Amino acid sequence: MDIQEFDDIRPFLPEELPAIFDKLLADPGFQEAIETVYKGIGMDQFGKMMRACRTNEEFQERLVYPVLMDLLKKASKGKTADFTMLDPGKSYTFVTNHRDIVLDSALLDCSLIDNKLGTAEIAIGDNLLIRPWIKDLVRVNKSFIVQRSLNMRQMLLASKKMSCYMHYTINEKHNHIWIAQREGRAKDSNDRTQESVLKMMSMGGDLRELNIVPLAISYEFDPCDYLKAEEFQHKRDIAGFKKSQQDDLDNMRTGIFGYKGHIHYQAAPCINAWLDTLPSDMPKTDYFKAVASHIDEEIHRSYQLYPCNYIAMDELQGTSAHASHYSESDKSSFDSYLSGQLSKVSMENPDMDYLRERILTMYANPAINQLSLSENQ
């Protein structure tokens, strides 16, 4: 397999970076973004810092990691990660729940750097690459492109190519991969793996080759919760509603800079040993359903629950059955938080009772899913 087969979707190679850096530094949109993020550093100085990076990893560690760490100081109570289940000598495909457009994968890379495990290549949909400079930047940052808005035949070919690239990345490049368990974020936080994602991953070879690790990403608070609730009402009230590019930009900006509370990344065991327990003659439809269900269970079990998850579940169900998991102060704080988020709603004719129920559901579902595991055992 030749790397040139993947030239239109893969991250840039180290030898391609100097020309891409020059292209980015000359782009007014990129300049504006840098001046916003790197306040106090002129473009000349930033250009020198950028051109000093010889590899994608150096760019990530020197220029991206410090910005994200500074962001976490301002917009969170800190990030923790548990990768004790991983073999440092192996490359893994992290299949995760999906909350935040940008930060899910970005903070995974920060956690991998902290644990000296090397960064991951990131699957990103081309629908988010709304400016040419953004597409270049994410490919510098080790992203590979998921092509969407294709006809059926083109989609099949694109899926096969992406799957082959993922297998190539794990087995030839020995690099980690991040991919969400579903296309788009789970707006209601009911984290479920789409079988279509697993089918795509298997097009390039056996799933065992990808060393799949279910990874639970837990944010105490989701700064986009009110925007997701608005989207639910739009879809309820407007037939065929679709988000605009501006909506995606607003979600990215709010997700990055909004307050997230505690953040935790929890890796479950690689699923290869579990895959070996499945019957060799298992029908494919049953196989993918079983694998999706197993990944879901591992993510639900590994999810870090916070008081707000239990409070939301009780408020939604009209009980105090889980009051041992939170204090009156926790409840008062969460109710104030909820009121504050609802006050940010800017849509016409907001159905406030519905919006509140939607946000409560977002916070309750991780707890509901985790508790259902113990009830079913």
If you compute the radius of gyration of the chain from its CA atoms, what whole number of angstroms results? 21
184 lies in the same domain as 65: yes
CA–CA separation, 58 vs 14, rounded Å? 10
53 lies in the same domain as 155: yes
Give the number of C-alpha atoms closer than 13 A to the C-alpha of residue 81, restricted to the C-beta side.
Answer: 19
Domain assignment of residue 169, given as a range: 3-223+260-302
Extended strands (E) in 22-61: none
> Which of 216, 150, 153 is CA-nearest to residue 189?
216
Q: Confidence band (pLDDT; 50, 70, 90) for 107?
A: very high
Query: One-letter amino acid identity for 289?
Result: K
Q: Are strands 263-267 and 212-219 parallel, antiparallel or unpaired?
A: antiparallel
247 lies in the same domain as 276: no
164 lies in the same domain as 310: no
The 10s digit of each residue's pLDDT in 269-279 is: 999 999 999 99
Q: Which residue has the tokens 């991951």?
A: 120
pTM (predicted TM-score): 0.96
338 lies in the same domain as 278: no
Mean pLDDT, rounded, for 85-107: 96
Q: Is the pLDDT of residue 162 over 70?
A: yes
The 10s digit of each residue's pLDDT in 178-205 is: 999 999 899 999 999 999 999 999 999 9
Residue 274: which CATH number?
A: 3.40.1130
215 lies in the same domain as 110: yes
Burial 25-50 (b: 16+ CB within 10 A, else e): bebeebbebbeeebeeeeeeebbeeb
The 10s digit of each residue's pLDDT in 30-78 is: 999 999 999 889 999 999 999 999 999 999 999 999 999 999 999 999 9
114 lies in the same domain as 157: yes
329 lies in the same domain as 185: no
Number of domains in the chain: 2
CA–CA separation, 140 vs 104, rounded Å? 18
CA–CA separation, 163 vs 161, rounded Å? 5
264 lies in the same domain as 350: no
48 lies in the same domain as 24: yes
CA–CA separation, 64 vs 125, rounded Å? 20
273 lies in the same domain as 338: no
Could you give the percent of the chain with pLDDT greater than 70?
99
- Per DSSP, what are the bridge partners of residue 178? 94, 122
Q: Is the pLDDT of residue 1 over 80?
A: no
Q: Is the pLDDT of residue 298 over 90?
A: yes
The residue among 272, 302, 332 that closes a domain is: 302
CA–CA separation, 54 vs 321, rounded Å? 56
Query: Are the beta carbons of 109 and 294 closer than 8 angstroms?
Result: no
Query: Where do the H-state alpha helices sit in 76-223?
Result: 103-114, 132-140, 152-171, 195-202
Residue 105, φ and ψ in degrees, nearest 5: -80, -35
203 lies in the same domain as 239: no
Residue 226, φ and ψ in degrees, nearest 5: -70, -30
Checking 237-241 for CB contacts under 8 A at 24+ apart, the result is 237/349
Could you give the percent of the chain with pLDDT greater than 90?
91
Query: Are the beta carbons of 300 and 309 closer than 8 angstroms?
Result: no
Mean pLDDT, rounded, for 323-333: 98
Alpha carbon 308 to its chain's center: 21
Write the DSSP symbol of residue 89: T
Q: Confidence band (pLDDT; 50, 70, 90) for 338?
A: very high
